[in-house]
A and B are shown apart, each in its own frame.
Chain A
């Protein structure tokens, strides 16, 4: 999923996407839109915080909250 959005990055190699420059605060907004569309979910504005997009694990946990297992 992330690879599709940002194919240039090796997300698996990073434990902090924001600090490593893989995602910035603007990307979080577009990523949310893409996740919503791909998984037919609706991530709340409240959930759009860096903690939830820090790495693969935190994104997976966020998706799980919306009933998606990846």
Chain B
């Protein structure tokens, strides 16, 4: 693997694969801004080859694996050549159910296990549908960043939920994209969102265990809708068996839109796997 020092290195390698054509398969859906940030933080390494490019992104104690290739056979060839990797690897396979079956089977063949699955929910149309509860959620302050990070890391699955680092949280706070509800000096809950034009994304909606089922989540969600009055579409990814959250999202008008993310993981040894077990969401 070669360290990535600029985004051009990635785009050129991708273009090479595309030029060889005719087909193209990938699990890489990052935006340019995100990619640039990963490059700046020196998190990326790349293995370009004839008909494929493998990109790894370091994240905490594992790496995300992305591929761009002419076809799945080229992905297989590239990954078989890298069987000696020692860090746990996580690959997200994204698409409609039927479209990812083949790639999931390939990854199982390569020694990956089904880790979990996320589904995308969307809600069409803006505005809160009921009167907002009071008092309103407030914007997080710069001084909340460390606590926000600690809460996210304690409650979400780092392998599957693309957890931010403190820098990303600080940036989101500066942009007014993290709402919180406080209980004295600590945070009772938070909602982290993103905006792109007419679409708003819920990234994390979290209420500390002791405060659940008391309307804190509602204050955050209504606060979010109120801060996105011009959004026409709301999107989020949720772990597919998180019924507690899904029924609430359904209550707010979110429905599955058919996209799924099958998260595959490969541990390099049984000991490593044991060390990574026993952690869970929410």
Contacts and interface: CB of A to CB of B under 8 A. Distances in A.
B102 to A, nearest CB: 14
Interface in B65-94: 94
Contacts of B232: 8-9
Contacts of A26: 29, 94, 120, 259
Contacts of A8: 124-125, 232-233
A30 B23 contact: no
Interface residues of B, number: 28
Interface string B190-216: 000001111100000000000000000
Contact of A21 (B95, B124, B195): B195
Contacts of A66: none
Interface residues of A, number: 18
Interface in B154-204: 195-199
B57 to A, nearest CB: 16
Given A21-B195, A21-B199, A46-B18, A30 B258 contact: yes
A20 B24 CA distance: 26
B120 A44 contact: no
Contact of B96 (A24, A33, A45, A48): A33
Contacts of A22: 197-199
A45 B25 CA distance: 6
Given A46-B21, A48-B24, A30 B233 contact: no
Nearest to A48: B24
A25 B23 contact: no
Nearest to B24: A45
Given A25-B31, A26-B94, A9 B198 contact: yes
Contacts of B270: none
Interface of B: 18, 21-26, 29-31, 94-96, 99, 120, 124-125, 195-199, 231-233, 235, 258-259
